[in-house]
Amino acid sequence: MNPIEIENITKKYRISKGFNWKKNLKQLLKMEKPDYLTALNKVSFSVKKGEIFGILGPNGAGKTTLIKILAGLLLPEEGKAAINNHDLIKDREKVRTSVNILMSGGWIIFDYKLSIYNNLKFWSVAEGLRLSEVKKRIEEVLKIVGLEDKKDDFPENLSAGLRQKMNLARCLLSDRPIYLLDEPTSNVDPYSSEFIRKFIKEMKKDGKTVVLATHNLWEAELLCDRIAILNRGSILVLDETRAIKERIGKEILTVELEKITPELVRDVSSFGFVEKVIEEKNILKIYGNIKRNIPVVIDLCRKYTNIIGVDMKESSLNDVFLQLITEKEKAMVMK
């Protein structure tokens, strides 16, 4: 069985529109149904052992809600889930002790009047480490994240990057099979971000299962084995990064010409492998299944004018992401 298995997970939040005693009384007496926001809508997927699984989506897509459910911090209204072979509903405490969670801005849980070392000491005890093991484990995790020389510093004096490293150290106090990372490099300097990304790769080498929620598409493409793109609580697509780009992404041929005529645009657009043509001054951007048909397009362009330059590129994950979200939003407007 996979370390993470979820099926038809649905989570709703009640919408508060300010205090209205008549409305509240009607809802209390079940004379009127309250309004709800669906944060997750029948979400299903599994994550394999040793896999880095990415959850991508714009703000409000449901990423953080999903991470909290996987950690046992929230319970869904519908659906079922098994985390490290433990039922999310029946074995919630076992689920919590199977995962380590790292949240964006998670350093707010620390006491700013205590040193880094004493903060980690508190969390070591809270997570059930034996007192005889605490000192050694804190020294180990401080060394791992590069904070051993700052153990006596206070959180309030640290940069955002160092605070996130401190948060990562807390996350590592207990050795657990699953790591849930919610925007781990958000608001963090480039050096600290690179450190965290390298550490995520090391976790994979150690056989840990990692779920990474992010809207940093370049980071997801670099790290993740598979990704799920989430929008308005629903999964739009789930697959390996390369497969998503090949299945949904477009090839783009950019041709710089001496001049562009309406006849040239018409004839290029008539090819069956061309999905759309965009004209920008003396440049044609041709979208579609272009790669195998470049010679045909070039020959046609030469019949009309001189070619100054040619560039070919495939859609990035960012292009695919924007395409999917835009199409989804247009569909919502049409409804």
Render pLDDT for 278-296 as a digit per residue (tens, 0 to 9).
Answer: 888 889 988 888 888 899 9
**Three-state secondary-structure class, residue 333:** helix
Per-residue burial over 297-325, b if 16 or more Cβ lie within 10 Å, else e, is beeebeebeeeeeeeeeebebebbbeebb
- Give the CATH H-level superfamily of domain 4-246: P-loop containing nucleotide triphosphate hydrolases (3.40.50.300)
Residue 287 has a pLDDT of 85
Closest CA to 160 of 181, 191, 138: 191
**Whether residue 317 has pLDDT greater than 60:** yes
Asked if 283 and 272 count as a contact pair (C-beta separation under 8 A), the reply is no
**Whether residue 21 has pLDDT greater than 60:** no
The pTM of the full predicted model, rounded to 2 decimals, is 0.79
**Whether residue 241 has pLDDT greater than 60:** yes
Say which range, 27-31, 67-71, 102-106, 192-196, has the weakest mean pLDDT.
Answer: 27-31
Which stretches of 69-132 are assigned E, i.e. beta strand? 78-83, 86-87, 99-103
Residue 252 has a pLDDT of 85
Beta strands 78-83 and 4-14: pairing type? Answer: antiparallel
Residue 327 has a pLDDT of 74
**Three-state secondary-structure class, residue 82:** strand
Per-residue burial over 53-77, b if 16 or more Cβ lie within 10 Å, else e, is bbbbbeeebbbbbbbbbbbbbbebe
Place of tokens 């380590």: 100
Predicted confidence (pLDDT) per residue in 145-195, tens digit:
989 999 999 998 988 888 889 999 999 999 999 999 999 888 788 888 898
**Whether residue 314 has pLDDT greater than 80:** no
Identify the band that residue 37 occupies on the pLDDT scale cut at 50, 70 and 90: confident
Residues 6+ apart with CB under 8 A from 75: 69, 88, 89, 92
Any idea where the domains of the chain sit in the sequence? 4-246, 250-314
Average pLDDT over residues 116-131: 92
Average pLDDT over residues 324-334: 70
Residue 23 has a pLDDT of 62
Average pLDDT over residues 41-60: 94
Angle, helix 190-205 to helix 131-145, in steps of 10 degrees: 120
Residue 15 has a pLDDT of 74
Q: What angle do CA 312, 317, 322 make, to 5 degrees?
A: 100
Domain 250-314 has CATH 3.30.70.100: yes
| Residue 35 DSSP one-character state | P
**What is the distance between the alpha carbons of residues 280 and 286, in angstroms, rounded to a whole number?**
11
